[in-house]
Amino acid sequence: MSRFPARAVVDLGAVRANARTLGDLAPTAQLMAVVKADAYGHGLLPVARAAVEGGATWLGVAQVSEALALRAGGVTARVLTWLYAPGAPLAEAVAADVDLSVAAPWALREVADAARAAGHAARIHVKVDTGLGRNGLTPDDLPAVVDEALRLEAQGVVRLVGIWSHLAFADEPGHPSLHAQGDLLRAAAADAEARGARFEVRHIAASASTLTDPELHLDLVRPGIALYGLTPVPQLGGPERFGLVPAMTVEAELANVKRLPAGHGVSYGHHYVTPRDTVLGVVPLGYADGVPRHASGQDGAPGAPLGVGGRRLAIAGRVCMDQVMVDLGPGATERAGDRVVLFGTGADGGPTAQGWADAAGTISYEIVTRLGARVPRVYVDGGREVPASGAERVAEGVA
Ligand SMILES: *Cc1c(COP(=O)(O)O)cnc(C)c1O
């Protein structure tokens, strides 16, 4: 058992239930659970397995290394990877039966070389930039790449299984660009089919459109943040509005508790000054652990929320590298070692990742994803602790 005085408790039962909820919301589409960036900080392999148990038939990752880590961990679901630069280990990915996105003409050439080196056909999804202005082929470049892919398909080098895109304004449901982008993808797919393509899946929806717009579900949906029980559209209400449960709780043990007189400055620069005799608590997590420095309490405004003994308090003063302070109040009975919740399910009014995002001027994605590597992840399922055997197995495989 780790002696680190804080941890992220990840509820795999919540991940499984969220996957089921998302599958029910998009009954005509296949479910791709997006587990890039170490499953948004929750832990790649345990989350991937729970998502598959919850009905995901696909897993989505940005980097090729993430796709290979899934295979090294024994995950057999379909995997799509979509972000790489020239020289990426694509032959390894093809050999590991990973689907590859093709977002540029050079990428198709490299995938074809990789497939020849691996000795079997590469499954590809052509990515179309329908308006986001990020990765993907412009609609102008698409026909030539589709024709070349079909030529390679006839030679048995690739299989053109998917066509896909990503939305610019998904977090603004009803924005006119959403259906315009959806229509462009449908038209691009129809044009490619007229040239001879036979797609298995057309896909454009991430969490926001999975939750709010069935017209964009197409053949497959790609939710990430919703799988973790957080919402990309907090303006519509909390995760419970969609039947989602936040999977991560970050908690710490108080490293010190002591009395301070009125008028005492707290933390670097004394941006908080005790308004009365009080009890100060020291929480052993800081910006090295992903606590945003923008969540400091300063200029009279409280910092990000903290739950202590059923009370809702806030960060007092500056966030430091390894610690933050909390004014526990004059009547506090806490002692060193008592539990502080930074964020969790929000049940009983407790603090949430969304509350942290609001305090730091960011989105909940960044709060969970930037949780530091130093913070141990502990897995629970149905209230019981489970070993993170997946992570260990990968570490052993690498050693
Ligand atoms: C990250 C990502 C997703 C998942 O987005 P969420 O908003 O977290 O659901 C889906 N598709 C692509 C291309 C992504 O980069």
Q: pLDDT tens digits for the chain (399 residues)?
A: 568 999 999 999 999 999 999 999 999 999 999 999 999 999 999 999 999 999 999 999 999 999 999 999 999 999 999 999 999 999 999 999 999 999 999 999 999 999 999 999 999 999 999 999 999 999 999 999 999 999 999 999 999 999 999 999 999 999 999 999 999 999 999 999 999 999 999 999 999 999 999 999 999 999 999 999 999 999 999 999 999 999 999 999 999 999 999 999 999 999 999 999 999 999 999 999 999 999 999 888 889 999 999 999 999 999 999 999 999 999 999 999 999 999 999 998 999 999 999 999 999 999 999 999 999 999 999 888 998 664 443 443 332
* Choice among 36, 127, 272, 365 that is catalytic: 36
Of ligand 1's atoms, which has the minimum distance to the CA of residue 62? Answer: 15
* Nearest residue to 42 (alpha-carbon basis) of 334, 311, 253, 246: 246
Nearest CA to ligand 1 atom 10: 206
Residue 21 and residue 239 in contact, taking contact as beta carbons nearer than 8 Å: no
CA of 167 to the centre of ligand 1 (A): 9
CATH 2.40.37.10, applies to 248-385: yes
Residue 114 and residue 95 in contact, taking contact as beta carbons nearer than 8 Å: no
Q: What is the CA radius of gyration of the chain?
A: 24
* Choice among 40, 84, 268, 287 that is catalytic: 268
Known active-site residue 40? no
Residue 285 and residue 245 in contact, taking contact as beta carbons nearer than 8 Å: no
User: In degrees rounded to 5, what are phi and psi of residue 207?
Assistant: -55, -50
Which protein residues touch ligand 1 with a CB less than 6 Å away? 34, 36, 82, 166, 206-207, 222-226, 232
Answer whether 12-226 and 248-385 agree in fold.
no
Burial class (CB in 10 A: 0-12, 13-18, 19+), 194: exposed
Pairing of strands 248-253, 220-221: unpaired
Evaluated on CA atoms 215, 217, 223, 226, the torsion sign reads: positive
- Domain boundaries, given as residue ranges, for the chain: 12-226, 248-385
Q: What is the CATH topology of the domain spanning 12-226? A: TIM Barrel (3.20.20)
CA of 385 to the centre of ligand 1 (A): 29
Residue 124 and residue 162 in contact, taking contact as beta carbons nearer than 8 Å: yes
Which amino acid, 109?
R
Known active-site residue 268? yes
* Nearest residue to 44 (alpha-carbon basis) of 399, 397, 390, 393: 390
